[in-house]
Amino acid sequence: MDNKKTEQLKKYTVNNEGMHDLTTNQGLKMAEDEFSLKAGQRGPTLLEDFHFREKMTHFDHERIPERIVHARGVGAHGFFQLYESLEEFTKADFLTNPSKITPVFVRFSTVQGSRGSSDTVRDVRGFATKFYTDEGNYDLVGNNMPVFFIQDAIKFPDFVHAVKPEPHNEIPQGASAHDTFWDFVGQNPETAHMVMWVMSDRAIPRSLRMMEGFGVHTFRLVNAAGRSHFVKFHWKPVLGMHSLVWDEAQQIAGKNPDFHREDLYEAIEKGQFPEWELGLQLIPEEDEHKFDFDLLDPTKLWPEEEIPVKRVGKMTLNQNVSNFFAETEQVAFHPGHVVPGIDFSNDPLLQGRLFSYTDTQLSRLGGPNFHQIPINRPVCPFHNNQRDGMHQMSIHQGKTSYHRNGLNANQPAPVPEESGGYAHYQERIDGRKIRGRSESFLDFYSQAKLFYNSLAPYEQEHVKKAFSFELGKCKSDLVKANAIALLNHVDRSLAQEVADQIGAPLPNENREVKSDKKSPALSMADTVLLPDTKKVAIVRVGDPDVERFAEWTTALTEKNVNFTIVGHKLHDLPNPLKVTATFETTDPTLFDAVLLVSSESTIPAPALAFIETAYKHYKPLALALSDHQALASARVRLDEAGVYDLAHSTIEAFINGIAQGRFWKRQL
Ligand code: HDE
């Protein structure tokens, strides 16, 4: 389905189909492309060979610098539509006109790893959305966690140096489980809240389609009458929030490093379009100081039970990119790309970001004209007096490239606010110039505790294990001790258990925040549970009853569940029996559930291992066995929750289990 943006992109596409003449970049048809020009059959290559030189020079420069953070990403096109006008809060056209379909481009990313790193590492996920509005591009450059590690942008280079692979040996890739990251955490207690999130299941999403997004900072919405509200932006996934388990995430990193990228691509190709609702939390400007946290502090969230999330519209991703480099790699986001009706707050992290993005893109994209790259171009007209520069793609006409001018009737001219020109919100500022931090930013632990309190027991267990894993990988005793000292401010029992696991000292004095306060919205336990788009491996042993087999696959398809038939070799049998993956080419970690269908009295070892692994990762299993003794030696308890024997149970019960996802209480 085309939208204004994808329609615009078509103008820039180049297709080799039907182009039978191979030419140089100068349009010269070449008679030979396989052999360089040589002095004699066995002689040296000649410098004169312009074709060789051009081809090789271009190749030598095919790569551009990867993003300093968020290097690994995946993008898709889609659209956003509002439910009802938000004119009470903002004058932004795309937020006041429910009939408008605004094209979007979204890029998801991990933060720490380089371009070729694995998708399922423990990390924050970037969630950056470019809205191509009729008033210019609006970028909501967010993450899948609502808070951040630091409070002031000047610390960002330090933070990134600490989390990235260590400089002496460039280890570890795609991981924060190392000394310099945890040293930074121990030395900068403002990280406490964010590290709780990163050690939680939020950092290992099952799918990019099944995670929340957050604008993180407090922004400002301004309506036509000039009234201002503080706002936090949310993306709420229609499929709910779901995660991997850590052991599984690590295995997937090897079995399919493109797990998330492929999941998104395939869902869109199948027409199972991912959707998120846009949510807003709003606080009138005059209520700024009514809370026990500072609205400008990016290490704080606004509890949803206190400030409800108003769902205002829906985003659907319905088209994959047609060229990864041109679109996903060259897209340039910037939190400072705003439209009238959206403005900033004085969050010192946001303020620094407003500088950094263009700055980094100047070197990443090679000059000041990257707004002309097709994926970055607005869909509305853009005119000003900026000229020339590297890679200028437009041929500006006329003599005047300055304002004010008389020779071109002073065009282009600024647009008055009443006619749609952007005017900054006139916030009153009164203060001394200082380098410092507001005292209202100094409560580092209350919300870290709030987050931990809000988790279900199994989620807390995962947090403990994640801390034990990460700190267990650190080599420095000092680093470990400092990290435990930080946890001792958040939750004593958490600090104690982790200290015990990693052999680090627990401080004598209990300094934990005393609070039982919870915010249920922070837990993923009560999320939406749907079978839709989940993946089932149907493991086929022997020759199944074709009719029953067809019944099951039809039932799965009707509930929008995807399946792959796995066997020990590929069979070119007619559907629905066609085996398309083998025990060699796929793995149980890549599926949400397994259905084992066997007509044999013994189940071969790879099939047994398949269901044992899925069982260990708490996934639903359905069994259709001609001989129940066949599973006697398997490390799978048939009487456990989430195990469905199709001799007594139904495929519908199994599908309900698929919706539920994991059976955490299962005995292993
Ligand atoms: Fe970014 N960030 N960031 N960041 N960020 C970049 O911009 C930066 C922060 C986020 O898919 C860079 O073009 C600073 C918070 C996303 O292309 C860079 C600070 C949040 C992406 C940069 C932050 C983000 C980036 C690297 C602290 C969530 C990927 C390449 C003041 C709200 C966008 C680039 C994409 C990328 C700077 C903190 C989100 C270097 C200085 C907080 C999703 O400019």
Mean pLDDT of 592-616: 96
Question: Per DSSP, what are the bridge partners of residue 136?
Answer: 133
pLDDT tens for 189-211 read: 999 999 999 999 999 999 999 99
Q: Is the Cβ atom of 70 under 6 angstroms away from ligand 1?
A: yes
Q: State the catalytic residue, choosing from 70, 260, 334, 489.
A: 70
In a shared domain, residues 54 and 159 = no
Q: Is the Cβ atom of 109 under 6 angstroms away from ligand 1?
A: yes
In a shared domain, residues 160 and 268 = yes
Instruction: Report the sign of the C-alpha dihedral through residues 394, 397, 399, 402, in that order.
Output: negative
Question: Per DSSP, what are the bridge partners of residue 310?
Answer: 280
Residue for token pair 């946290």: 293
Ligand 1 centre distance from Cα of residue 11 (Å): 30
Query: Ramachandran region of residue 250, left (φ > 0), alpha (ψ -120 to 50) or beta?
Result: alpha
Q: State the catalytic residue, choosing from 3, 51, 77, 143.
A: 143
Could you tell me the two tokens for 109? 């990313």
Q: What's the rounded Cα separation, in Å, for the pair 107 and 466?
A: 27
In a shared domain, residues 516 and 631 = no
In a shared domain, residues 464 and 552 = no
In a shared domain, residues 233 and 324 = yes
**577 within some domain:** yes
Q: Is the Cβ atom of 143 under 6 angstroms away from ligand 1?
A: yes
Q: What's the rounded Cα separation, in Å, for the pair 240 and 261?
A: 19
Could you tell me the two tokens for 41? 């059959």
Of 470, 498, 522, the residue that ends a domain is 522
In a shared domain, residues 505 and 575 = no
Q: Is the Cβ atom of 105 under 6 angstroms away from ligand 1?
A: no
**393 within some domain:** no
In a shared domain, residues 156 and 250 = yes
Q: Nearest to residue 278, comparing CAs of 129, 379, 135?
A: 129
pTM over 0.90: yes
In a shared domain, residues 547 and 471 = no
Q: Is the Cβ atom of 358 under 6 angstroms away from ligand 1?
A: no
pLDDT tens for 261-282 read: 999 999 999 999 999 999 999 9
Q: What's the rounded Cα separation, in Å, for the pair 494 and 508?
A: 14
**162 within some domain:** yes
Task: Give, in order, the Cα–Cα distances in Å from 667 to each of 123, 345, 462, 615, 644.
Answer: 29, 50, 16, 10, 15
Q: 338 by DSSP, 3-state: which? A: coil
Task: Specify the pLDDT at position 578.
Answer: 86
Question: Per DSSP, what are the bridge partners of residue 130?
Answer: 105, 139
Task: Specify the pLDDT at position 571.
Answer: 75
Report the atom number in ligand 1 closest to the C-alpha of 70: 29
334 counts as catalytic? no
Task: Specify the pLDDT at position 577.
Answer: 77
Q: What is the CATH number of the domain that holds 307?
A: 2.40.180.10
E strands present in 88-135: 101-110, 125-133
**Quick count: other Cβ atoms within 10 Å of Cβ 344?**
19
Task: Specify the pLDDT at position 543.
Answer: 87
Q: Nearest to residue 339, comparing CAs of 97, 142, 98, 93?
A: 93
Length of the chain: 668
pLDDT of 391 > 90? The answer is: yes
pLDDT tens for 518-550 read: 999 999 999 999 999 999 999 999 988 889 999
Q: What DSSP line would sit under 601-639, residue for residue? A: SS--HHHHHHHHHHHHTT--EEEEES-GGGGTTSS--TT
Report the atom number in ligand 1 closest to the C-alpha of 217: 32
**ipTM > 0.90?**
yes
In a shared domain, residues 235 and 337 = yes
Q: Is the Cβ atom of 68 under 6 angstroms away from ligand 1?
A: yes
pLDDT of 575 > 70? The answer is: no
Task: Specify the pLDDT at position 544.
Answer: 84
Q: What is the CATH number of the domain that holds 542?
A: 3.40.50.880
Of 69, 108, 125, 152, which is best to mutate to test ligand 1, by the most ligand atoms within 8 angstroms of its C-beta? 69
Q: Is the Cβ atom of 353 under 6 angstroms away from ligand 1?
A: yes
Phi/psi of residue 233, nearest 5 degrees: -95, 140
- Helices 446-454 and 477-490, packing angle to 10 deg: 80
pLDDT tens for 470-523 read: 999 999 999 999 999 999 999 999 999 999 999 999 999 999 999 999 999 999
289 counts as catalytic? no
**123 within some domain:** yes
Ligand 1 centre distance from Cα of residue 358 (Å): 11
Name the pLDDT band for 152 (thresholds 50, 70, 90): very high
Could you tell me the two tokens for 502? 């990693």
pLDDT of 86 > 90? The answer is: yes
Q: Is the Cβ atom of 69 under 6 angstroms away from ligand 1?
A: yes
Of 62, 88, 118, the residue that ends a domain is 62
Task: Specify the pLDDT at position 572.
Answer: 65
Of 461, 493, 522, the residue that ends a domain is 522
Q: Whose CA is nearest to atom 44 of ligand 1?
A: 357
Residue 100 near residue 74 (C-beta atoms within 8 A): no
Mean pLDDT of 237-244: 98
**415 within some domain:** no
Report the atom number in ligand 1 closest to the C-alpha of 357: 44
pLDDT tens for 341-352 read: 999 999 999 999
Q: What is the CATH number of the domain that holds 474?
A: 1.20.1370.20
Range of weakest confidence among 103-117, 310-324, 563-577: 563-577
Residue 176 near residue 123 (C-beta atoms within 8 A): yes
Q: What's the rounded Cα separation, in Å, for the pair 612 and 433?
A: 63
In a shared domain, residues 331 and 223 = yes
**440 within some domain:** no
Q: Is the Cβ atom of 312 under 6 angstroms away from ligand 1?
A: no
Residue 579 near residue 607 (C-beta atoms within 8 A): no
Domain tally for the chain?
Answer: 4
Q: What DSSP line would sit under 212-277, residue for residue? A: -EE--S-EEEE-TT--EEEEEEEEEETT---B--HHHHHHHHHH-TTHHHHHHHHHHHTT---EEE
Of 357, 362, 365, which is best to mutate to test ligand 1, by the most ligand atoms within 8 angstroms of its C-beta? 357
Ligand 1 centre distance from Cα of residue 357 (Å): 7
Q: Whose CA is nearest to atom 3 of ligand 1?
A: 353
In a shared domain, residues 508 and 551 = no
Q: Which amino acid, one-letter code, is at 309?
A: V
Of 64, 66, 67, which is best to mutate to test ligand 1, by the most ligand atoms within 8 angstroms of its C-beta? 67
Domain containing residue 45: 23-62
Task: Using CA atoms of 341, 345, 351, 356 in order, give the dihedral in degrees to the nearest 10.
Answer: -40
Mean pLDDT of 387-392: 98
In a shared domain, residues 515 and 566 = no
Q: Is the Cβ atom of 148 under 6 angstroms away from ligand 1?
A: yes
**53 within some domain:** yes
**288 within some domain:** yes
